[in-house]
């Protein structure tokens, strides 16, 4: 059956809440409206206003009260409505959500799953298309994941909610309507492992979240040129499954990392550093990064020039063949 990523996420939330009555879903507009993207659709009808509730408009409070609720014994799944609005909650996430376990020498656990629709490509207004993942990946104590397809969206959401560590769950909003033939519920797979989304022999393309589909498009187009691309879907950005990436690069000898976020100190920089540390003698070419630019996210009419697409990936692939 073809399901969209939005449906898969919604189903995952329904199933998780069914299984564990300590799970609470809250945020702005998640109740009656079912979320602006309908990811929390019908949850309130099913589980009531005590477990699925709309909050006042205040991101720091959404995360800060999630921390208190988790300390009390609930498993909160708060929603930040858009990536660009996660910044008011930055302090609560970085100084408290991520650190309280460490600060308490392991006495506290914070099973909080922060859902953040992220990334561009939907023609949105300013502050609705950002890729803030580096901030979270850089913060010890958090897990950061981003699914690349509906099946993974289901599986990873269930894994994130089941995790006793805080998880930043980045939902690639431009892929909410992406369909996949999959029977839900899918069998859950550990969310901290990368997978080979497309096997190939010439170049490893590492991607996550919204760029997995783009990378797969590039792999398909590359076949026309007789280039064989291997696409690694990272799935988890923190922890990072370096093993899978490095194994792939050892096989192909070339590596392109793809993400929407700006290039400098992006996830690609970390992947490149790890690959050159661990697979230096296997590399036939420098590791390239097909990313967004080091500029603010552009206005919607210009985002197609900013966001990496299959062509940008293929240009880097071609460049890597020059070595």
Partner 1 sequence: MPYAAQGAAAGSRPRHPRRTSWWPDERSLSVVDIHDAASLLPPEDPVHLLDPDGTFHEHGDYPLDLKDQDFLDLHRYMVVTRKVDREAINLQRQGQLGVYASCLGQEAAQVGGAYALGENDWVFPSYREMGAAVVRHVDTAALLHLYRGTWLSDHDPYEHNFALMAIPIGTQALHAAGFAMGARFDDNPIVVMGYFGDGATSEGDPHEAMNFAAVFQAPCVFFVQNNQYAISVPLERQTAAPTLAHKAVGYGMPGLRCDGNDVLATYAVTKRAVERARQGDGPAMIEALTYRMEAHTTSDDPTRYRTEDELEYARTFDPIVRMEAFLKQRDLWSEEFKAEVDELAQSEAQRMRDGIYDAPHGDPLELFDHVYVDPPRDYAAQRAFLRAELDAAGGDA
Kindly list the catalytic residues: 128
Choices 79-87, 88-96, 211-219, 308-316; region in contact with partner 1 by CB under 8 A: 88-96
Residue 151, classed as helix, strand or coil, is helix
Q: Which residue is it, tokens 């370096």?
A: 242
Determine, following the binding rule CB under 8 A, whether residue 294 of this chain makes contact with partner 1: no
DSSP letters for 36-55:
TTSTTTTHHHHH-TTTEEE-
Q: How far is the CB of 281 from partner 1 (least distance, A)?
A: 19
Choices 45-53, 113-121, 127-135, 256-264; region in contact with partner 1 by CB under 8 A: 45-53
Determine, following the binding rule CB under 8 A, whether residue 103 of this chain makes contact with partner 1: yes
DSSP letters for 94-135:
IIIITTHHHHTTTS-----EEEEEE---S-PPTTSS---HHH
Q: Which of 36, 38, 85, 88 binds partner 1 (CB under 8 A)?
A: 88
Site string for partner 1, 248-277 (x = CB under 8 A): ------------------------------
Residue pair 154/201 in contact (Cβ under 8 Å)? The answer is: no
Choices 46-54, 215-223, 245-253, 284-292; region in contact with partner 1 by CB under 8 A: 46-54
Task: Please tell me the count of residues contacting partner 1 according to CB under 8 A.
Answer: 50
Question: Please, which of residues 147-176 interact with partner 1 by CB under 8 A?
Answer: 163-165
Q: Which residue is it, tokens 């690694």?
A: 232
Residue pair 207/259 in contact (Cβ under 8 Å)? The answer is: yes
Determine, following the binding rule CB under 8 A, whether residue 208 of this chain makes contact with partner 1: no
Q: Which of 6, 66, 137, 313 binds partner 1 (CB under 8 A)?
A: 66
- C-alpha–C-alpha distance, residues 304 and 209, integer Å: 17
Q: Which of 36, 38, 61, 312 binds partner 1 (CB under 8 A)?
A: 61
Q: How many helices (H) and strands (E) does the chain have?
A: 12, 14
**How far apart, in Å, do the first and last CA atoms of the chain sit?**
44
Residue 305, classed as helix, strand or coil, is helix
Residues at the contact surface with partner 1, assessed by CB under 8 A = 24, 48-50, 53, 55-56, 58, 60-61, 63-74, 88, 91-92, 95-96, 99-109, 140-141, 143, 163-165, 192, 238-240, 242-243
């Amino acid at each position: 059956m073809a399901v969209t990523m939005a449906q898969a996420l919604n189903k995952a939330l329904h199933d998780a809440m069914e299984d564990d009555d300590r799970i609470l879903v809250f945020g702005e507009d998640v109740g009656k409206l079912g979320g602006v993207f309908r990811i929390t659709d019908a949850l309130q009808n099913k589980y009531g206003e005590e477990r699925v509730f709309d909050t006042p408009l205040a991101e720091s409070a959404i995360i800060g009260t999630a921390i208190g609720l988790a300390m009390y014994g609930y498993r909160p799944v708060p929603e930040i409505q858009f990536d660009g609005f996660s910044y008011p909650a930055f302090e609560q996430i970085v100084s408290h959500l991520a650190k309280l376990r460490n600060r308490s020498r392991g006495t506290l656990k914070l099973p909080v799953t922060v859902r953040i629709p992220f990334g561009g490509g939907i023609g949105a207004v300013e502050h609705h298309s950002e890729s803030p993942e580096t901030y979270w990946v850089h913060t010890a104590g958090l897990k950061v994941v981003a699914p690349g397809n509906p099946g993974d969206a289901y599986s990873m959401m269930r894994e994130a909610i089941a995790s006793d560590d805080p998880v930043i769950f980045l939902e690639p909003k431009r892929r909410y309507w992406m369909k996949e033939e999959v029977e839900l519920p899918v069998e859950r797979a550990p969310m901290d492992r990368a997978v080979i989304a497309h096997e190939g022999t010439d170049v490893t393309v590492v991607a996550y979240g919204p760029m997995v589909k783009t990378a797969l498009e590039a792999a398909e187009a590359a076949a026309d040129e007789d280039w064989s691309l291997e696409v690694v879907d990272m799935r988890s950005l923190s922890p990072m499954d370096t093993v899978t990436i490095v194994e792939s690069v050892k096989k192909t000898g070339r590596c392109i990392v793809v993400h929407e976020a700006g290039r400098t100190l992006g996830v690609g920089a970390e992947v490149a550093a790890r690959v050159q540390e661990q697979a230096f003698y296997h590399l036939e070419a420098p590791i390239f990064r097909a990313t967004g630019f080091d500029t603010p996210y552009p206005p919607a009419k210009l985002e197609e020039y900013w966001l990496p697409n299959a062509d940008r990936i293929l240009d880097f692939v071609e460049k890597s063949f020059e070595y």
